[in-house]
Amino acid sequence: MEITVAIDAMGGDHGAHVTVPAALEILRRDPDVNIVLVGLVEVIEAELRAHRAAVSSRLRIHPASEVVTMDDQPALALRSKKDSSMRVAVNLVKSGEANACVSAGNTGALMAISRFVLKMLPGIERPAIASVLPTLNGHTHVLDLGANVDCSAEHLLQFGIMGAMLVAAVDHKERPSVGLLNIGEEDIKGNEVVKRAAELLRASGLNFYGNVEGNDIYKGTTDVVVCDGFVGNVALKASEGLAKMIGELLKQEFKRNLLTKLAGLMATPVMNAFKKRVDPRRYNGASLLGLRGIVVKSHGGADIFAYEHAIETAVEEVRNGVLRRITEQISLLHPEQGAA
Amino acid sequence: MEITVAIDAMGGDHGAHVTVPAALEILRRDPDVNIVLVGLVEVIEAELRAHRAAVSSRLRIHPASEVVTMDDQPALALRSKKDSSMRVAVNLVKSGEANACVSAGNTGALMAISRFVLKMLPGIERPAIASVLPTLNGHTHVLDLGANVDCSAEHLLQFGIMGAMLVAAVDHKERPSVGLLNIGEEDIKGNEVVKRAAELLRASGLNFYGNVEGNDIYKGTTDVVVCDGFVGNVALKASEGLAKMIGELLKQEFKRNLLTKLAGLMATPVMNAFKKRVDPRRYNGASLLGLRGIVVKSHGGADIFAYEHAIETAVEEVRNGVLRRITEQISLLHPEQGAA
């Protein structure tokens, strides 16, 4: 199966210095993949030359004259930068020239452009951002992580379906378990939207586990955790902040005196093994779900290794038909919409 | 200044085994404090005997024949257990026999009973649970952590005022900074409630910092972080889950082989110093704010050391007039209500 991925080569903190070598590595590793590098031709060509690479039947350059910056307002990026590398990469998905696109650019702009260009899948009202978080026994997929600040129960149901189908596709689990993030496990807990969402999920035919709490994310209680974008974003960023604080405090304690420095030296391999297990680079690549096309958002600060992972995520979603799965599952829910 | 604290001696996972020795330690340490131990007299007396202690002018027992369990529904605990140690302890605050009460029992029941018995302060519509979290440079106070699942902008404003006055009282900061938890720093971010709350906080006369994000909690960006109880509860529990996972994974890595075990042995003092800095026992004691009385909730699993900290929190709130401060600050906002 040939899979073509359009890469927003200019996006992210490091632009082509990261996106181009990551794309080259994927081409080397996965013979099914073709890449379209989208952006300023001279910049991309210079980066290819630096890696002694050149365009080929599997690697082509698609010009785009503008770049969306991290500070651009999403609406402005959408309206006024019609030849941005981000917009053109998404256009290639729309036209069918690419099966997916990857960008490390401005999340809000990528969401706005993707939604405008690709439109929503039938039966899905809102797109959601799904990401993978490490757990004690593996990983879990959480959505929404910030695309929607006010969600209805129906939106949360749709997120559940999209998340389950994503896991079915990329983790090859046929009946992934779905948890609804709440502030207690009992059915009576939570606000009205969440209570109603639990009813809808229970009736959906998904493998609905019930309510989960914040700590269940890292316990890995369910394969998918569903929440509104406000809650998901806060939980994710609080986790990032806590992890950073723990790392910083440990560093301080290991640097306290000669003895602790020696202990730190001894503990280095252990710490490295630990870091590898929770390395966020291994989880890079958030899926923008609910669109009529596959769009993966890389972290803006991603390095080459992390960006490769974002490309691989896009490839897996194409290979395992995540869009078809979502569409089919939604049509089971709304037969009339599926037929439309 | 004499301060009398009513202790729900039966509350929590360990009941009198924790509450009584913690109370004795506080009596020993702080000559201003008197304690009323509330609960089953024979149980309390047995625990006192075990510690070679006895009632005195500073320590008395107040009988209560029932105990609220962790599984009791709040409404049921309120209606049918009128002689519970929890209820009687709160009653002592209402009657003025105690200046504050502390309980490690069922949070929902404590909130329901406190609200019913004590009523709200003028100008405060909803009580909030405030807790302290460690940060890189100290600690920060976060509220609400789960008392309210649906908040209006006015509620968030009131939480801001209560949180600021709590910090003024217990941390002796006259103009504590207040951040509003959101999913981006820009004013345009967030849902409508949060946007409106930012306007109210900006006009409140508080030292309002503006929006903060999840990671700002652990950065210690502001002295107070305000959020609705759903978001706060999820963020707190996600943090607990992540901290637990990190601890577990580190333990696994240190146990991998002989060499890593040796490194673990060497690193033990460092790890202990680190644990001490983030020890949740040092932050035990959540304040139920907005009531006409001081109520502090200890973690159910608290040990003696942790429970002492909860009692100290209650004492500090009394000593530094947190209720008066909240009432005064609210009356600045609503002069008509303050005069009522």
**Across residues A274-281, what is the average pLDDT?**
85
pLDDT in tens, A100-151: 999 999 999 999 999 999 999 999 999 999 999 999 889 999 999 988 888 9
pLDDT of residue A340: 38
**Across residues A294-306, what is the average pLDDT?**
96
Across the interface, which of A227, A233, A270 has its CB nearest the CB of B214? A233
Mutate one of A270, A271, A279, A282 to test the B interface: name it (highest B CB count within 10 A): A270
A96 residue type, one letter: G
**Across residues B72-86, what is the average pLDDT?**
93
pLDDT in tens, A64-73: 999 999 889 9
- Which of the four pLDDT bands, split at 50, 70 and 90, describes residue A338? very low
**Across residues A236-263, what is the average pLDDT?**
90
Q: How many Å apart are CA A330 and CA A123, to the nearest integer?
A: 6
Q: What is the 3-state secondary structure (H, E, C) of A190-255?
A: CCHHHHHHHHHHHCCCCEEEEEECHHHHHHCCCCEEECCHHHHHHHHHHHHHHHHHHHHHHHHHHC
Mutate one of A194, A231, A234 to test the B interface: name it (highest B CB count within 10 A): A234
**DSSP helix/strand/coil, A297:** strand
Q: How many A-B residue pairs are in contact by the CB < 8 A criterion?
A: 181
B208: nearest Cα among B262, B254, B163, B246: B163
pLDDT of residue A337: 47
pLDDT of residue A334: 65
- Which of the four pLDDT bands, split at 50, 70 and 90, describes residue A232? very high
> Which of chain B's residues have a Cβ under 8 Å away from the Cβ of A246?
243, 246, 278
CATH topology of domain A126-289: Isopropylmalate Dehydrogenase (3.40.718)
> Which of chain A's residues have a Cβ under 8 Å away from the Cβ of B231?
230-231, 234
A266, pLDDT greater than 90: no
pLDDT of residue A188: 61
B236, pLDDT greater than 60: yes
Residues 54-73 of B with CB under 8 A from A: none
Work out whether strand B286-289 and strand B128-135 pair parallel, antiparallel, or are unpaired: antiparallel
Q: How many Å apart are CA A106 and CA A72, to the nearest integer?
A: 8
**Across residues B11-39, what is the average pLDDT?**
97
CB contact under 8 A, B266 and A269: no
Q: Please state which CATH class domain A1-124+290-300 belongs to.
A: alpha beta
Which of A236-240, A247-251, A327-331, B188-192 is predicted with the least confidence, judged by mean pLDDT? B188-192
pLDDT of residue B338: 42
The larger pLDDT score, comparing residue A169 to residue B185, is at: A169
pLDDT in tens, A50-91: 999 999 999 999 999 999 998 899 989 999 999 999 999 999
**Across residues B32-56, what is the average pLDDT?**
97
Q: What are the residues whose beta carbons fall under 8 Å from the beta carbon of A258, sequence distance 6 or more?
A: none
Across the interface, which of B215, B269, B270 has its CB nearest the CB of A238? B215
Q: Are A137 and A331 in contact (CB under 8 A)?
A: no
Which of A242-256, B92-106, B107-121 is predicted with the least confidence, judged by mean pLDDT? A242-256
The percent of residues above 70 in pLDDT, for chain B, comes to: 97
Which contiguous run of DSSP H or E holds residue B141? strand B138-143
Q: How many Å apart are CA A113 and CA A121, to the nearest integer?
A: 15
Q: In angstroms, what CA-CA distances link A173 with A163, A165, A332? A: 12, 9, 19
Each domain of chain A, given as residue ranges in start order, spans 1-124+290-300, 126-289
B125-285: CATH homologous superfamily? Isopropylmalate Dehydrogenase (3.40.718.10)
pLDDT of residue B188: 61
CB atoms within 10 A of CB B305: 15
- Provide the residue count of chain A: 340
B230 CB near a chain A CB, below 8 Å? yes
Q: How many Å apart are CA B294 and CA B252, to the nearest integer?
A: 43
Query: What residues pair up with A288 in beta bridges, in sequence order?
Result: A129, A295
B340, pLDDT greater than 70: no
Token digits for A303? Answer: 């390095």
- Which of the four pLDDT bands, split at 50, 70 and 90, describes residue B332? confident
- Which of the four pLDDT bands, split at 50, 70 and 90, describes residue A332? confident
CB contact under 8 A, A237 and B231: no
> Which of chain B's residues have a Cβ under 8 Å away from the Cβ of A245?
134-136, 218-219
Mind giving me the DSSP string for A74-140? HHHHHHH-TTBHHHHHHHHHHHTS-SEEEE-S-HHHHHHHHHHHH-BPTT--S-EEEEEEEETTEEE
CA distance A156 to chain B (A): 16
Task: Using the structure block, give the residue that is written with the tokens 């019609």.
Answer: A82
Across the interface, which of B134, B183, B274 has its CB nearest the CB of A233? B183
A235: nearest Cα among B181, B129, B238: B238
pLDDT in tens, B186-226: 666 778 899 999 999 999 999 999 999 999 999 999 999 99
Q: Are A338 and A123 in contact (CB under 8 A)?
A: yes
B266 CB near a chain A CB, below 8 Å? yes
- Which of the four pLDDT bands, split at 50, 70 and 90, describes residue A280? confident
Interhelix angle B258-278/A229-254, rounded to 10 degrees, is 110
A34: nearest Cα among A317, A315, A322, A324: A315
ipTM of the complex: 0.87
> Which of chain A's residues have a Cβ under 8 Å away from the Cβ of B211?
none
- Provide the residue count of chain B: 340
Write the burial class of residue A138 (CB in 10 Å: 0-12 exposed, 13-18 middle, 19+ buried).
exposed
Q: How many Å apart are CA A197 and CA B254, to the nearest integer?
A: 42
Strand order, beta sheet including B177-181:
B59-63, B33-39, B3-8, B100-103, B294-297, B286-289, B128-135, B138-143, B224-226, B177-181, B207-212
pLDDT of residue B149: 83
Which contiguous run of DSSP H or E holds residue B83? none
pLDDT in tens, A170-210: 999 989 999 999 987 666 677 889 999 999 999 999 999 99
**DSSP helix/strand/coil, B194:** helix
B275 CB near a chain A CB, below 8 Å? no
Asked whether the domain spanning A126-289 has the same topology as the one spanning A1-124+290-300, the reply is yes
Write the burial class of residue B8 (CB in 10 Å: 0-12 exposed, 13-18 middle, 19+ buried).
buried
- Residue B103, phi then psi, degrees to nearest 5: -140, 140
- Which of the four pLDDT bands, split at 50, 70 and 90, describes residue B339? very low
Q: What is the DSSP letter of B283?
A: G
What mean pLDDT value characterizes chain B?
92
Mutate one of B239, B261, B265, B283 to test the A interface: name it (highest A CB count within 10 A): B239
CATH code for the part of the protein at B1-122+290-320: 3.40.718.10
- Radius of gyration over every alpha carbon of chain A, rounded to an integer in angstroms: 21
B147, pLDDT greater than 90: no
Across the interface, which of B214, B263, B264 has its CB nearest the CB of A235? B214
**DSSP helix/strand/coil, A8:** strand
pLDDT of residue A199: 95
**Across residues A5-32, what is the average pLDDT?**
97
The percent of residues above 90 in pLDDT, for chain B, comes to: 76
Q: How many Å apart are CA B213 and CA A232, to the nearest integer?
A: 12
CA distance A142 to chain B (A): 12
The larger pLDDT score, comparing residue B153 to residue A281, is at: B153
Q: What is the DSSP letter of B312?
A: H
Across the interface, which of B214, B229, B262 has its CB nearest the CB of A238? B214
